Amino acid sequence: SAVISQKPSRDICQRGTSLTIQCQVDSQVTMMFWYRQQPGQSLTLIATANQGSEATYESGFVIDKFPISRPNLTFSTLTVSNMSPEDSSIYLCSVDSQPNSYGYTFGSGTRLTVV
Amino acid sequence: QKEVEQNSGPLSVPEGAIASLNCTYSDRVSQSFFWYRQYSGKSPELIMSIYSNGDKEDGRFTAQLNKASQYVSLLIRDSQPSDSATYLCAVNIKGRRSQGNLIFGKGTKLSVKP
């Protein structure tokens, strides 16, 4: 299955600033997914990133707050903009583990704390 | 109605026992079902997938699916302390805008006591 490198692994940020999270995959993948896991909660899908087109956002998530780039088939970034303490969470990228299986491999996650 | 439901636990079992984890889902057209294991502070790790009614075994793990009852379970035989983690049930919801994405339950925390 794919191997994903995600960075940074953690960060402490000031309110009002932005943080960009990067994910690099060791193979080409069509779709990359960005999830958020708030403390004590399960994973919530933020958006799906397709190469060559705009990301598809889930209900409750908007591009202005979470802009996503997908410049090629192995790389994607998620930016958390104008951060507030409510954005403190773990952010995870993921890809399909095998073609058409819909089971996912996850990056190691980014633990974000906004102060 | 929540799309994927799990008992949050904690579920505590003695070492060597069978741990039984359960999950129900609301979307009748769901086709793919997954169990992930998440250790504290780590990202989820896929341990089982199941697509057809019945049982699927992989080592100490058995996944069971009953589409008529919209129910999927995970059995862990000969439970070990290293199995202590949160187990997430995930369902692929067909027809959603973003094909291929998964809906996760909140997870069941399993504790295996030596």
Q: What is the 3-state secondary structure (H, E, C) of chain B?
A: CCCEEECCCCEEEECCCCEEEEEEECCCCCCEEEEEEECCCCCCEEEEEECCCEEEEECCEEEEEECCCCEEEEEECCCCHHHCEEEEEEEECCCCCCCCCEEECCCEEEEEEC
**Which member of A42, A101, A108 has the closest CB to residue B88?**
A42
Regions of chain B short of the pLDDT cut 70:
1-2, 94-100
Compute CA A42 distance to the chain's CA centroid, rounded to the nearest angstrom.
Answer: 15
Chain B contacts of A47, Cβ < 8 Å?
98
**Which member of B43, B101, B104 has the closest CB to residue A109?**
B43
Of A9, A27, A2, the closest CA to residue A91 belongs to A9
pLDDT of residue B24: 95
pLDDT of residue A76: 96
Contact B45 A106 (CB under 8 A): yes
Of B50, B27, B23, the closest CA to residue B108 belongs to B23
The CA distance from B16 to A44, in Å, is: 34
pLDDT of residue B1: 57
The torsion region of residue A109 among left (phi > 0), alpha (psi -120 to 50) and beta comes to left
pLDDT of residue A69: 94
| CA-angle at A95, arms to A89 and A101, nearest 5° | 130
pLDDT of residue A39: 86
Q: What is the largest CA-CA distance in chain A?
A: 40
Q: Which residues of B15-42 are buried (b: 16+ CB within 10 A; e: fewer)?
A: eeeebebbbbbebeebebbbbbbbeeee
Q: What's the pLDDT tens digit per position in A29-87?
A: 888 999 999 988 889 999 999 888 889 999 999 999 999 999 999 999 999 999 999 99
Provide the 3-class DSSP secondary structure of residue A87: helix
Which residues contact residue A21 at a Cβ distance below 8 angstroms, ignoring those fewer than 6 apart? A6, A7, A8, A77, A78, A79, A80, A91, A93, A110
Contact B101 A33 (CB under 8 A): yes
Contact between A115 and A85 under an 8 Å Cβ cutoff? The reply is yes
Count interface pairs A-B at CB distance under 8 A. Answer: 52
